[in-house]
Structure 1
Amino acid sequence: MQNFKHYRAFQIDPDGHVFGCINLVCSDDEQAKREAAALALVNRIELWRLDKQLAQFDLPPEVVRQ
């Protein structure tokens, strides 16, 4: 039986404030990072598991220029 873990992908506005949170349930940290990276097409994302920040994903350069 596979053991799933809970993660949170926090949406960060241009001023650096959290304005939303997306809950992710993934099999491991690598899957969570892939899913969080896909969310960074619209907003900057910080990926957390419990009290540990696992990754930060910035907007692609072509989105920032617009």
Structure 2
Amino acid sequence: MEEYRAYVIGPDGHIFNRVDIRSPDEKEARRLAKIAVDGHAVELWQADRFIERFEPEQ
């Protein structure tokens, strides 16, 4: 299992929460990070490697 972190970004652009994700692969980690998007942007990282930023639907 790989370890990822999904950082929830507040309206001021700062991180206000972190979700630790353990996943067998990056594809599944992306799917799980998208679930964390609930009105806030979420950035998915693996250690110091940025993977993707998910924006909330407008």
Correspondence 1:1-66 to 2 at 5 A? 4-61=1-58
CA distance in 1, matches of 2:40, 2:24: 24
Q: CA RMSD in A?
A: 0.8
Structure 2, unaligned runs of 5 or more: none
Q: CA offset at residue 20 of structure 1? A: 0.8
Structure 1, unaligned runs of 5 or more: 62-66
What TM-score results when the alignment is normalised by the length of structure 2? 0.93
Aligned length: 58
Q: Which has the larger radius of gyration?
A: 1
Which structure shows the higher strand fraction?
2
1:3-25 CA distances to partner (integer Å, 9 max, x unpaired)? x0000000100111001100000
2:5 match: secondary structure:
strand
CA distance in 2, matches of 1:7, 1:39: 13
What TM-score results when the alignment is normalised by the length of structure 1? 0.83
